[in-house]
Amino acid sequence: MANRVELTGQILATSGLRFTPAGVATVEMRLAHGSEQNEAGRPRQVVCEVEAIAFGETARKLSQSPVGSQVSLIGFLDRKSPRSSLLTVHVTDYELI
Amino acid sequence: MANRVELTGQILATSGLRFTPAGVATVEMRLAHGSEQNEAGRPRQVVCEVEAIAFGETARKLSQSPVGSQVSLIGFLDRKSPRSSLLTVHVTDYELI
């Protein structure tokens, strides 16, 4: 079942590196995204904020990127928590741009 | 700026075909998505509901898919409305599976 996101954004806020109770590295971020997309033959200006989270080695590296950094993410969507309808991008790979 | 989503899901609810005040065809849907993703070297079970919207020809075709249909979408993320932090997948292409 497909679930893949590619997104470029600017880091607005970051939790910094933290660890789950099981000792897994994690970082949460809020990103600002802006782009022009083509929809039904018309340009659409997209401006949104996206919550992102990473675990393990990706989290260790991504947590070193300061607020203001432009990052290009690859990952998947999941709900933020079992009772939330908010979606979060789980980052599995990224690069600074 | 990258903003691309690939997602498979089952249609839970659909608005049916509607038209914007400007006469553009549109349809809104809620999809159930379930998959297993690889995150930090571990399998993660993803279960979430995703809001999707389409416009134009894509909306005309997608609106014919009844609740229960499995669809594979391609599109982009945008906020649901200017004052909402909810994200919606704007569907630019899809296929029934």
For residue range A48-95, list pLDDT tens digits in order.
999 999 999 999 999 999 999 999 999 999 999 888 889 999 999 999
User: pLDDT-based confidence at B83, cuts 50/70/90?
Assistant: confident
Distance from CA of A15 to the nearest CA of B (A): 18
Q: Work out the pLDDT band at B34, boundaries 50, 70, 90.
A: very high
- Cross-chain Cβ contact B34/A1 below 8 Å: yes
For A53, the token pair is: 């989270």
| Interface predicted TM-score (ipTM) of this complex, two decimals | 0.94
As a CATH number, domain B5-96 is 2.40.50.140
Question: Which of B39, B46, B90 lies nearest to residue A39, judging by beta carbons?
Answer: B90
Confidence of residue B84 (pLDDT cuts 50, 70, 90): confident
Nearest CA distance, A96 vs chain B (angstrom): 13
CA distance A82 to B70: 23
**pLDDT tens digits, one per residue of B57-81:** 999 999 999 999 999 999 999 999 8
- Cα-based distances in Å from B94 to A23, A35, A64: 40, 21, 37
| pLDDT class of A1 with cuts at 50, 70, 90 | confident
CA–CA dist A15, A27 (Å, integer):
6
